[in-house]
Structure 1
Amino acid sequence: MPLLDIRNLTIELDTPQGKVKVLEKVSLTINPGEIHGLVGESGSGRSLLAKAVLGVLGPNWNIIADRMMWDGQNLMEMSTKQRRNLMGSDMTMIFQDPSGSLDPVKTIGSQLIESLTPNKAVPFWRRAKDTRLTAQKWLHKVGIKHPKRIMKSYPWELSEGECQKVMIAMAVANHPRLLIADEPTNSMELSTQAQIFRLLSQLNQLQNVSILLVSHELETLVKWCDRISILYSGQIMETGPVAELVTSPYHPYTKALFKNLPEHTGKLKHKSYLPSMPGSSPSLQHLPAGCRLGPRCPDAERQCVIQPSLTHEKDRYYACHFPYKNEIEDDNAIT
């Protein structure tokens, strides 16, 4: 049974110009122990989807979904208290804006200790000290060299990278079942990025923590994820195992994304243009009808003004009227 199962999720925002569908019929499935990547351009709705899963909703949000199941329980039918009990224990999130997510008038140590669940196996007179040492241990694990000094500091005294590490320590310290990581390595040097991804990989392999890794860096997701969902302007384009998406993409947008992966073979001529799709992402006020990639798609036809449904074949999902899978099958038949 999937740990998280979402079907046809639509998020509408109330704006002065009327209701705008920022996410439209998005489906997402995460299995236990899986690292699932969610990739898309800025403004594609990745963070909105992550917040909807966690239950962190804005005042002008309207959520419609056929199904939002968490380990067999319906998230849509849960009360606010039940959703809050899930947050921080079974389900945690590393937010994209770390300094804005921390309380500026409380020390890092007090906020981190507050987020930890005390170990009941430790006698009550030693729990305060044990929790403080646990907080220091997690700060050290995420790459902070002087955890004692950081514990006494306030968020405004730290750099953006240090605040991000504190947020990661808060998220992983309670060993959640699902960790939503929204750009977890922003404002970090490359060596620290590698350390954070190794930590997340260890949590996944040793403690069976499922991870939803949200990023726009396709190369990073290809390296660390088992499956990837590709989001464009609020619609899911394609979902599938990483190896299959790289070798045989079905959707034109997927194919264009993987063409842009950096190559180090030397085949690209000096100062030559990188392959790209014409045009740009549509604004929320002027969304095209049907498939939102239509105005930019090289294979678009009249039928694309009707939104394609998400087609399921084996472990692949794609939303396209004219997928490349037919070309791949023809090539295989010839060979």
Structure 2
Amino acid sequence: MLLLDIKNLTIELETPEGLIRAVDRVSLSLREGETRGLVGESGSGKSLIAKAIVGVLNRRWQVTADRFNWMGQDMLRVTAEQRRQIIGRDIAMIYQEPSRSLDPTAEIGEQLEEAIPSHLLTGSWWQKPFLRRKRAIALLHKVGIRDHKSIMQSYPYQLSEGICQKVMIAMAIAKNPKLLIADEPTTALESTTQAQLFRLLASFNQLKGMAVLLISHELESVARYTQHISVLYCGQLVESGETSQILKHPFHPYTNALIKSVPEFQSNLAHKTPLYALPGSIPTLQHVPIGCRLGPRCPNARKECVKTPVLERLQNHYYSCHFPLKKRDES
């Protein structure tokens, strides 16, 4: 079943200098039980897309799309109250900095119990507080926190980032969402804690059939735990498809650069060989190039790249490039 179906999503910001297009006609879809990765450098618009899905962008941002459906319902046409009800019921999001997303004035137990919907508690009204606390403890155990007593009595500033992130995951899965959006869930965490969190998200997908949209700038981690992947550059979707297929045969020069920059993907890399990197850096939104935004950094750029490439499809592999690597290699 198709849960999320977005076509040509555009997100713009009104500034004194004019309208800035932060996300440029991005298409994204997610099926029930699917894990999809959304990767790209910082500033490529990944978090903006996630916030547009859950409807938390402020009014300065203008969100338009040819199609923006959740389970067949147009999210741009429903009222704000209807949208809040749909998102509150079906979609949960884990933000980048968990300690800043939690309420610093309330204990963890209080915040976690508040996140549990009443309709999931079966029993008389006088049993609800006991059932709510019991479920909160079970959620902490589910995310790998055993010492629930001290954690529930603690405030966010008393806990490590890793524990706060696990608490955020527990709050997110408290309502059994159909879609879990994890926005850079392992930022500033130790490698062992990162691996634990990724395995935790993968287990929810496998055991509960929960769809997961995993947002990160780390291609290696995303590729390990996702079935499909979408690659963004400076607000434009450059490539999308099955993770294994993209890693073996990338069509876009930017995707190819991301893969070549990860040592684990280069089996024949000699010792102390410098890692591959594209020259330059991602442009600011106020000074994005016309046409293909990768143009000034692309090793294959030609004069045709001043026109924005259309999204083309080869079976289930999508790419947006005037001179894709496959065609260049075949010629």
Distance (whole Å) between structure 1 residues aligned to residue 113 and residue 314 of structure 2: 46
| Structure 1 residue aligned with 2:42 | 42
In the alignment, structure 1 residue 106 sits paired with structure 2 residue 106: yes
The answer to whether the Cα contact below 8 Å between 2:259 and 2:265 also exists between their aligned partners in 1 is: no
Distance (whole Å) between structure 2 residues aligned to residue 270 and residue 262 of structure 1: 10
The answer to whether the Cα contact below 8 Å between 1:88 and 1:115 also exists between their aligned partners in 2 is: no
Q: Any idea what SS the aligned residue of 2:137 has?
A: helix
The answer to whether the Cα contact below 8 Å between 1:142 and 1:195 also exists between their aligned partners in 2 is: no
Distance 1:279 1:189, change over 3 A: closer
Q: Is the deviation greater in 217-226 or in 138-147?
A: 138-147
The answer to whether the Cα contact below 8 Å between 1:161 and 1:186 also exists between their aligned partners in 2 is: no
| Structure 2 residue aligned with 1:204 | 205
Identity level (%): 52
**Residue 120 of structure 1, CA deviation:** 4.0
Q: Any idea what SS the aligned residue of 2:89 has?
A: coil
**Residue 130 of structure 1, CA deviation:** 1.4
| Structure 2 residue aligned with 1:143 | 144
| Structure 2 residue aligned with 1:67 | 67
Q: Which residues of 2 match residues 41-190 of structure 1 at below 5 A? A: 41-118=41-118, 119-190=120-191
**1:141-170 Cα deviation digits (max 9, x unpaired):** 223242111212222222222221111110
Q: How many residues of Structure 1 are paired with residues of Structure 2 in the alignment?
A: 330
**Residue 72 of structure 1, CA deviation:** 0.3
User: For the aligned residues, what is the CA RMSD?
Assistant: 1.8
Q: Any idea what SS the aligned residue of 2:215 has?
A: strand
**1:308-332 Cα deviation digits (max 9, x unpaired):** 111122211111111122245x39x
In structure 2, runs of 5+ residues without a counterpart are none
Q: Is the deviation greater in 134-143 or in 184-193?
A: 184-193
In structure 1, runs of 5+ residues without a counterpart are none
| Structure 2 residue aligned with 1:28 | 28
TM-score between both structures, scaled by the size of structure 1? 0.93
Structure 1 residue identity aligned to 2:235? G
Q: Any idea what SS the aligned residue of 1:237 has?
A: strand
Distance (whole Å) between structure 2 residues aligned to residue 86 and residue 41 of structure 1: 31
Distance 1:281 1:256, change over 3 A: same
| Structure 2 residue aligned with 1:247 | 248
| Structure 1 residue aligned with 2:258 | 257
The answer to whether the Cα contact below 8 Å between 1:88 and 1:171 also exists between their aligned partners in 2 is: no
Distance (whole Å) between structure 2 residues aligned to residue 6 and residue 222 of structure 1: 22
In the alignment, structure 1 residue 214 sits paired with structure 2 residue 215: yes
Distance (whole Å) between structure 2 residues aligned to residue 242 and residue 269 of structure 1: 25
Structure 1 residue identity aligned to 2:305? C
**Residue 187 of structure 1, CA deviation:** 3.4
Distance 1:107 1:242, change over 3 A: same
Distance (whole Å) between structure 2 residues aligned to residue 145 and residue 17 of structure 1: 53
